[in-house]
Amino acid sequence: LDKEDNLRFRKTYLDMHFYDQSTFYLTLDAEERQKLYGILQPNEMGDMFDTLQDDLPEIPDFLLEMDVKYAADMLNYMYDDNAADVLEHLDKSHVDEFLEQMPKADANNLRGLLHYDTETAGGIMTTDYVEFNESIKAGEAIQDLRKFAETAETIYYLYLLDDHKDLVGVMSLRDLILQKPEVNLRDVMNTDIISVNVDEEQEEVAKVFRDYEFLAVPVVDHANHMVGIITVDDVIEVIDDEAQQDYSGLAAVNVDESEHDGPLKAASKRLPWLITLLLLSMFTATLVNHYEGLLAQASILAVFISTITGTAGNAGTQSLAVAVRRLAVDEIDKSDFFKLIGKELLTGFVTGFVTGVSVFLIVGIWKSNFVLGFVIGLAMCAAIMVANLAGSLIPMMMASFGFDPAVASGPFISTLSDLTSVLIYFSIAGVFISHFVGS
Amino acid sequence: LDKEDNLRFRKTYLDMHFYDQSTFYLTLDAEERQKLYGILQPNEMGDMFDTLQDDLPEIPDFLLEMDVKYAADMLNYMYDDNAADVLEHLDKSHVDEFLEQMPKADANNLRGLLHYDTETAGGIMTTDYVEFNESIKAGEAIQDLRKFAETAETIYYLYLLDDHKDLVGVMSLRDLILQKPEVNLRDVMNTDIISVNVDEEQEEVAKVFRDYEFLAVPVVDHANHMVGIITVDDVIEVIDDEAQQDYSGLAAVNVDESEHDGPLKAASKRLPWLITLLLLSMFTATLVNHYEGLLAQASILAVFISTITGTAGNAGTQSLAVAVRRLAVDEIDKSDFFKLIGKELLTGFVTGFVTGVSVFLIVGIWKSNFVLGFVIGLAMCAAIMVANLAGSLIPMMMASFGFDPAVASGPFISTLSDLTSVLIYFSIAGVFISHFVGS
């Protein structure tokens, strides 16, 4: 490639959206990437890296293949929340190497961000925001905004501080351009400030965005000093992450199984769950074993084991999913707790009763044995009620002890409910055995 | 309440964020709400209704209790996507009643929006956006923006049309304020326009926002005429809805079970799934019934039915969740299809093998019968492989036939895998029965 080609390429590349640049970048091999680093300035590379998903497994390699100074300049140019997200996936020694190449203030700023837990407001915030003293006039603010437009992650909200650097007002650019230039922002700013604390969980942050439909929210420390803002694009990532976690939890797979994992890696992520559940299911086996005498007397009982355990497990999974979802959306206090349990008991009774009657009829007619049908139906009804209750009680108890309720997965509930279903089934069968074996 | 109280209340109320106003509004009873309609102008009420969740079951009642003219004015003042969302939950006769009270143009605009499928770009877009002819200068555009600031849903993007009303450029307010007033926007606007078609599915729209991190995206019709924009707040709702649907599908519960549903209603939503799955599980029962002779010979076989069906079901649920999640994120073409199936087969083999060996050891040692252990282990391995494959094949086949893969729920896969697991189990046991019963 000669010079002119490079220039033509530069223009085409830089005219693309950052996301399209990143899609292109990911198709390159190591040699082509080196050529790209030669053609593009660190800041141009930084724009693209701002859009790259920070959890791509290749990102550490990308950084380490760059010249150290180039990488440091790029990181310094990036929005600091994204730079921190990238650095989080590197070894401490490499992080230090990059930070040493930066101006002290910027390096310390990034070090500060790296120090927050990744799943809190501090972990997703940026310090690249627009702040003014509250005494500024509207006209000046618009003038000064131009300075921020190059570096701030959003200029659509202005944060107004008093002389003690306390956050005292917020103003949107939309409201600002409606003001006369000579107006003091102090007199027109919004003082009913919705902010989040730097230690707030990211789910709580997402709730604020959902409810208030903001594009950005200020983050304050315990002394109400403003330390950063969170922008809506980062919140979309949080919502995706949370949904992914809930979903994965329900199916007992690890959140982080990626399409790039080979079969061995995928299996190694699924096996811990499977083996744990297998061990739990061995208790069910010993329970059935305990009733071997009953089974020898009436091998027909074996026919309906999987019907009862399966259906009760399905019912338990349903009530689990409803409970986990509710816990994700609302805080549940004591009085709600008993109301919900009461409701789930009744729901379990209705579903159990209807399903039990269906099974009673099916089995009764099929086997021309309505006593057997009654036993299976009664066991089904009781097993569903217990599974339903467990499905809502267990996640609520986990939440009240501070665990993530989504860890109580569907497979866990259905394996657990196998145990109680088998116990209920054989207990009831034991009582009636003389009636249905004889008939 | 006398006049002064009303005035004081008005001030306090209007100083609140719209979301806080809506929280307050939802605590009022019918009489208090009437009082509120007397105190607030339709536009002030509209700001709050813009923030109300449009799927609240009470919303139709709220509208119908208002004076028709007041409600129509409020709807007309609201952003038209939100007004359309509200009207969607009303009877056609009531919709017409409200629309008749509005200026013709506004009514027709709303009628147009109501006509789009709710889960497409057209169904979530607003027509309240900022458009200019591309020949406008930066300074004029900033001046003219003030007019839009009252009505447009966002003023942070300007859409530039040519003389044929075709969308030819986009510009952010951030870039605009960096321009000199005399610059022609035509010369500096972004012409690499990412837009969505009005018929695009809402999931696809969400992907555009995720990738490009835009705050709004233009919507065009088939002739590339601009018809509206979609803003990021509506996309957050879409992402939440989609996550909710995937999650509910995985657990075989209906998406729309709400916390306000009583036990009967909740049960009536869960029962269709449960009964369908029950009928499916009766096939498993008849299969076990078919092997009753084998069970009579060796009742020990009954002990491990639920272990094998349960574990295979868990493995199937895992691979299902991985497949559904992948389908939600990526389009999968033919070559990927076979690669994924191959990978899932290998993953199934590894998980099946490790789980099978575990069971072989546990059962062999527990029962001092390694032939029995071998039978259970082999059956477990085969059952897991089949369930794994079904868990990924079924959603992929559903997707390729145009169904939502999330409908293939975890309970469905595990109930189906009960059937294959039992078949595998008894077939293998039948071959080896003389060896482990005798020993």
Residue bearing tokens 């994965």: A248
Q: How far apart are CA B66 and CA B77, in angstroms?
A: 15
CA distance A212 to chain B (A): 6
Q: How far apart are CA B220 and CA B129, in angstroms?
A: 13
Residue bearing tokens 């089949």: B386
- Per DSSP (E only), the strands in B141-274 are 157-161, 167-172, 196-197, 216-220, 226-231
Strands A216-220 and B216-220: unpaired
Transcribe B163-197 into DSSP letters: TT-BEEEEEEHHHHTTS-TT-BHHHHSB-S---EE
Q: How far apart are CA B136 and CA B144, in angstroms?
A: 10
Mutation choice for B interface testing from A351, A362, A396, A409 by most B CBs within 10 A: A351
A contacts of B346 (beta carbons < 8 Å): 263-264
Transcribe A367-392 into DSSP letters: TT-HHHHHHHHHHHHHHHHHHHHHHH
User: How far does Cα A309 stand from its chain's mean position?
Assistant: 31
Instruction: Retrieve residue B317's tokens.
Output: 């649920």
Instruction: Retrieve residue A132's tokens.
Output: 């003014």
pLDDT mean over A242-247: 81
pLDDT at residue B257, as a whole number: 67
pLDDT digits (tens, 9 = 90+) for B120-138: 999 999 999 999 999 999 9
pLDDT digits (tens, 9 = 90+) for A408-435: 678 888 889 999 999 999 999 999 888 8
Q: How far apart are CA A220 and CA A229, in angstroms?
A: 9
pLDDT bin (cut points 50, 70, 90) of residue B420 is: very high
User: How far does Cα B314 stand from its chain's mean position?
Assistant: 25
pLDDT digits (tens, 9 = 90+) for A166-192: 999 999 999 998 899 999 999 999 999
Transcribe B321-376 into DSSP letters: HHHHHHHHH----HHHHHHHHHHHHHHHHHHHHHHHHHHHHHHHHHTT-HHHHHHH
pLDDT at residue A408, as a whole number: 63
Q: A285 Cβ partners below 8 Å, 6+ apart?
A: B303, B304, B306, B307
Instruction: Retrieve residue B418's tokens.
Output: 């009960």
Percent of chain B with pLDDT over 90: 56
pLDDT at residue A439, as a whole number: 44
Task: Please name the member of B149, B301, B318 whose beta carbon is closest to the beta carbon of A270.
Answer: B318
Strands B167-172 and B157-161: antiparallel
Are the C-beta atoms of residues A156 and B156 closer than 8 Å to each other?
A: yes
Task: Please name the member of B274, B326, B347 whose beta carbon is closest to the beta carbon of A351.
Answer: B274
- Inter-chain touch A213–B350, beta carbons under 8 Å: no
Instruction: Retrieve residue A64's tokens.
Output: 């380490």
Region of A174 (left: φ > 0; alpha: ψ -120 to 50; beta: rest) is alpha
- Inter-chain touch B346–A263, beta carbons under 8 Å: yes
Could you say which residues from 28 to 57 on chain A have a Cβ atom under 8 Å away from some Cβ of chain B?
Answer: 51
A155 CB near a chain B CB, below 8 Å?
yes
Transcribe A271-323 into DSSP letters: HHHHHHHHHHHHHHHHHHHHTHHHHHH-THHHHTHHHHHHHHHHHHHHHHHHH
Mutation choice for B interface testing from A327, A347, A417 by most B CBs within 10 A: A347
pLDDT at residue A187, as a whole number: 94
Which backbone phi and psi does A25 adopt, to 5 degrees?
A: -55, -40
pLDDT at residue A246, as a whole number: 80
A contacts of B414 (beta carbons < 8 Å): 310, 313-314, 414
A contacts of B289 (beta carbons < 8 Å): 300, 303
pLDDT at residue A37, as a whole number: 94
pLDDT at residue A334, as a whole number: 66
Percent of chain B with pLDDT over 70: 96
3-state secondary structure of B220: strand
A422 CB near a chain B CB, below 8 Å?
yes
> Residue B249: exposed, middle, or buried by beta-carbon count in 10 A (0-12, 13-18, 19+)?
buried
3-state secondary structure of B252: coil
More confident residue, A355 or A293: A355
- Per DSSP (E only), the strands in B87-186 are 131-133, 157-161, 167-172
Instruction: Retrieve residue B408's tokens.
Output: 């293939």
Transcribe A386-410 into DSSP letters: HHHHHHHHHHHHHHHTTS-GGGS-H
pLDDT digits (tens, 9 = 90+) for B11-68: 899 989 999 999 999 999 999 999 999 999 999 999 999 988 877 888 999 999 999 9
Q: Is it the case that residue B439 has pLDDT exceeding 60?
A: no
CA distance B93 to chain A (A): 31
Transcribe A309-360 into DSSP letters: HHHHHHHHHHHHHHHHHHHHH----HHHHHHHHHHHHHHHHHHHHHHHHHHH
Are the C-beta atoms of residues B113 and B230 closer than 8 Å to each other?
A: no
pLDDT at residue A26, as a whole number: 92
* Residue B213 one-letter amino acid: E
B contacts of A368 (beta carbons < 8 Å): none
Domains of chain B and any CATH numbers: 3-115 (1.25.60.10), 131-247 (3.10.580.10), 263-438 (1.10.357.20)
- Inter-chain touch A232–B246, beta carbons under 8 Å: no
Could you say which residues from 387 to 406 on chain B have a Cβ atom under 8 Å away from some Cβ of chain A?
Answer: none
Q: Is it the case that residue B334 has pLDDT exceeding 70?
A: no
Mean residue pLDDT of chain A comes to 89
Instruction: Retrieve residue B175's tokens.
Output: 């870039």
pLDDT at residue A412, as a whole number: 86
pLDDT at residue B195, as a whole number: 95
Are the C-beta atoms of residues B248 and A248 closer than 8 Å to each other?
A: no
> Residue A5: exposed, middle, or buried by beta-carbon count in 10 A (0-12, 13-18, 19+)?
exposed
More confident residue, B200 or B54: B200
Q: How far apart are CA B344 and CA B322, in angstroms?
A: 10
What chain A residue is nearest to B12 in terms of C-alpha separation? Answer: A192
pLDDT mean over A217-228: 92
Q: Is it the case that residue A332 has pLDDT exceeding 70?
A: no
pLDDT digits (tens, 9 = 90+) for A333-380: 667 778 888 888 999 999 999 999 999 999 999 999 999 999 999 999
Task: Please name the member of B17, B253, B344 whose beta carbon is closest to the beta carbon of A321.
Answer: B253
A contacts of B296 (beta carbons < 8 Å): 299
Are the C-beta atoms of residues A67 and A37 closer than 8 Å to each other?
A: yes
Are the C-beta atoms of residues B425 and B386 closer than 8 Å to each other?
A: no
Size of interface A-B (CB pairs under 8 A): 328
